[in-house]
Amino acid sequence: MSPRSAPSEHRATDREIWRLAVPAFLALVAEPLFLLGDAAVVGRLGTPELAGLGIAAVVLQTAVGLCVFLAYGTTASVARRLGAGDLRGALAQGVDGLWLAVGIGVVTTVVGVALTDPLVAAFGAGPEISEQATTYLRIAFLGTTPLLVMLAATGVLRGLQDTRTPLYVAVGGNVLNIVLNVVLVYPVGLGIAGSAIGSVVAQVLSAAVLTVVVVRGAGAQGAPLGPDLPGIRLAARAGVPLVVRTLTLRAAILTTTYAVTLGAAPGAGLDVDLATHQLAMTLWGFLAFVLDAIAIAAQALTGRTLGAGDVAGTRRLTRRMLRWGVVSGVVTGVLLAAASPLLGPLFSRDAAVHEALVPVLLIAALGQPVAGIVFVLDGVLIGAGDGRYLAVGGLLTLVVYLPVALLAASWGGLLALWVAYTTVFMGSRMLVLVLRERSDAWVVTGGGTPGPSRTRSGAGS
């Protein structure tokens, strides 16, 4: 590469990254913003209804969150086929992902509806709140299948290098959700049940739109639309390591929250620490959307370039995305640090929470560049189909972090816990991912699903 061509090539690569990342970011942000709208609608009914919605949301988000592999795994496999020049095969694989989503969704719906009562009772929230949560959750479980179909269809479109269509559907579906919520909850008078019904209707229509887009594309390429059991089984097997990876991340977050109770002073001190931690983790999660958008671009682009057999292009893309991950992490870190004195009053009236939140957010701000590297490399390896390594790496990281988190909280309280989270947990994740990226083990070329039998290509081949 000549010195003159390098800047223009970098600009072209950057345009390709942000063409995928920006719509992905907007789609990621749309959901939590509109969930706040749902909470505002239900919140006007009363505190028990809002608390019931909170319990139901935790259950639903856990069930659906464990199935995020339907988007991630499908993105990687479809992009790989696309890069290999096999558009028909890419869409056929996408259709297999849709059928897998339907199968998992039906089972989850049946089990969820049957277990709604014990699931809500496990929170021990009292009869009034439990009644509201049960009403909402039993109806909302009917939307599980369309939600999972949306995940799979979104993964197909991302694999086809299209992040705009999922954005349009996310915004349109969520606007419809709010409108239906308002109408069914108030003029129609269905209360919290109306909110659940509105959400399910919006989810069904959104899933239908995305499915039509995928099915039309598959039909145009002559790809089969019926269920292919070997293809569905292959998609399911590829998803298992990503489920393990997701479980390790959720276990780390749950452990961190539990550890807060170990380091807090009894009484009011515990309330302040838990409230501070929850706010800090919410803000951390929101900023993660910026970094996750680049990770989504990494999944799609890595799968495509490896499918095309372009090892040098894959390495070049990885370097540029890492650069943008670090830059984004620095920017979000600076913004978080600068805004830290102002954020507490926006979410709480408790002066003790305001005071405790600032140093925690400063620690979180310092961890943003590390998070930028972690998110990008996570996306690269998911795009490469390296799920097994991610699962093993996640388990190792969790084993290292759990005792450190508990000890840090016991000895140093909330601040020490956040230092442990940003350095030990995120640092361990970064180490695991960087070591893998520097090897050639994940660089598997070709349009098929990566596996032990496939030829591995070194970075110089």
What number of helices (H) and strands (E) belong to the chain?
16, 0
Q: Reduced to 3 states, what is the DSSP secondary structure of residue 255?
A: helix
Among the listed residues 3, 12, 24, the one whose alpha carbon sits nearest the alpha carbon of residue 297: 24
Check the CA dihedral 438-372-387-404 and report its sign.
positive
Q: What is the arithmetic mean of pLDDT over 153-180?
A: 94
- Between 211 and 263, the higher pLDDT residue: 211
Looking at residue 212, what is its pLDDT? Answer: 97
Q: Rounded to the nearest 5°, which phi and psi values hold at 414?
A: -65, -40
Q: Are 408 and 420 in contact (CB under 8 A)?
A: yes
pLDDT of residue 273: 81
Give tens-digit pLDDT for 229-283. Answer: 998 998 899 889 999 999 999 899 888 888 887 765 555 556 778 778 878 888 8
Q: What percent of the chain has pLDDT over 70?
A: 92
Residue 215 in tokens: 């099915």
The per-residue pLDDT for 447 is 67
Confidence at residue 254, expressed as pLDDT on a 0 to 100 scale: 84
Average confidence score pLDDT of the chain: 88
> Region 349-358: what's the mean pLDDT?
84
pLDDT value of residue 45: 83
Query: Which has more pLDDT, 130 or 34?
Result: 130
Q: What is the mean pLDDT of residues 214-233?
A: 93
Q: Is the pLDDT confidence value at 34 over 90?
A: no
SS3 242: helix
Q: What is the pLDDT of residue 41?
A: 84
Q: What pLDDT was estimated at residue 452?
A: 39
Lowest mean pLDDT across 181-185, 341-345, 374-378, 418-422: 341-345
**Quick check: 376 pLDDT over 50?**
yes
| Averaged pLDDT, 39-59 | 82
Q: Please state the pTM of the whole predicted model.
A: 0.87
Is the confidence at residue 4, as pLDDT, over 70?
no
Tally Cβ neighbours within 10 Å of residue 13.
Answer: 18
Asked if residue 11 has pLDDT above 50, the reply is: yes
Q: What is the pLDDT of residue 136?
A: 93
Q: What is the CA radius of gyration of the chain?
A: 22
Contact in structure between 52 and 131 (CB atoms under 8 Å): yes
d(C-alpha 390, C-alpha 397), whole Å: 10
The Cα 450–Cα 81 span in angstroms is 11
Which residues are paired to 444 by β-bridges? 456
Whether residue 417 contacts residue 408, with contact meaning beta carbons closer than 8 Å, is answered with: yes
DSSP-assigned letter for residue 226: S
Q: Residue 118 class from Cβ within 10 Å (0-12 exposed, 13-18 middle, 19+ buried)?
A: exposed
Q: How many CB atoms lie within 10 A of CB 85?
A: 12
Is the pLDDT score of 337 beyond 80?
yes
**Nearest Cα residue to 150 out of 85, 202, 111:** 202
Query: What pLDDT is attached to residue 457?
Result: 40
